[in-house]
Amino acid sequence: MGLPLQASKWLSCPILIDQHEMQALMESLGDFWIFIVQGIIKKDDGPLSKEAFLQCYETYIEGLKRGELVETQQLKSCFASVWTRDLEALYAIPVKEDYQLIKIEKPVLQLQSHRFTYSSTDGKFRSMTFGPDAIHWGIQFSYPQLFQNKAYHVLSVKETPNFPNTILFKTLQRWVREYTSPTPFLIDGRQVNVPIRLGKNCFSWINQHPQLISNNLSVRT
């Protein structure tokens, strides 16, 4: 059995892109697997297909375009998945007879539902905050820079055969820089560029986002 991941100095990419941009991003990354790591799964389920992930993501985006926030268990599971080129980065823990938990042992791309808040008191945007006023904003991809192996040696996660997911994350970073931009929020008529990223295809509908409306926020389009 493996050991739980011990890693630090995480780099993150919080992005909101539409379903066509997500498909383009996934195609740019080449071959990788998607695994659900939230909750138990059946032993014979295997990895989640890219098509199933895209279908789930499309449901989320089409909801935002209609001014609705879609929250289903399937969507929560997809947004808490991991992407990996290295199957040995994961291990399974049997649960009962026909179920298992997928755990992380080595660095992988970790996904989280991304949320942020804005405080009119200090004029600050805060990423990955929770609470009733937190605004859902796509996905945050994270990847560590340091990793502790089974021998308790701390290693730098460089582009080597030992860390095939490093190039996966760097490819994602390059795509994000090219096809998304910092989000230009309008605050009291003044543009404030915030590091959370927005896909270029999203500008035509982003102000339909129901939580932007309820928080009296808007994006310059």
Domain assignments of the chain as residue spans, ordered by start: 7-211
Vertex 22: Cα angle to 27 and 29 (nearest 5): 30
pLDDT in tens, 35-94: 999 888 888 788 999 999 999 999 999 999 999 999 898 899 999 999 999 999 999 999
Distance between CA atoms of residues 208 and 113, nearest Å? 19
pLDDT in tens, 180-205: 999 999 998 899 999 999 999 999 99
Give the pLDDT confidence score for residue 7 in this predicted structure.
92
Structure confidence by residue, pLDDT tens digits, 91-116: 999 988 889 999 999 999 999 999 99
Which DSSP string do the residues of 173-219 spell out, in sequence order? HHHHHHHEEEEEEEETTEEEEEEEEEEGGGTTTGGG-HHHHHTT-EE
Provide the pLDDT for residue 2: 65
Is there a contact between 107 and 127 (Cβ–Cβ < 8 Å)? no
Distance of CA 67 to the CA centre of its chain: 21
Residue 174 has pLDDT above 90, yes or no: yes
Averaged pLDDT for residues 119-145? 92
Cα separation, 162 vs 98, whole angstroms: 32
pLDDT band at 219 (very low <50, low <70, confident <90, very high): very high
Whether 150 contacts 3, CB under 8 Å: yes
Residue 155 in this model has a pLDDT that exceeds 70? yes
pLDDT the model gives residue 97: 81
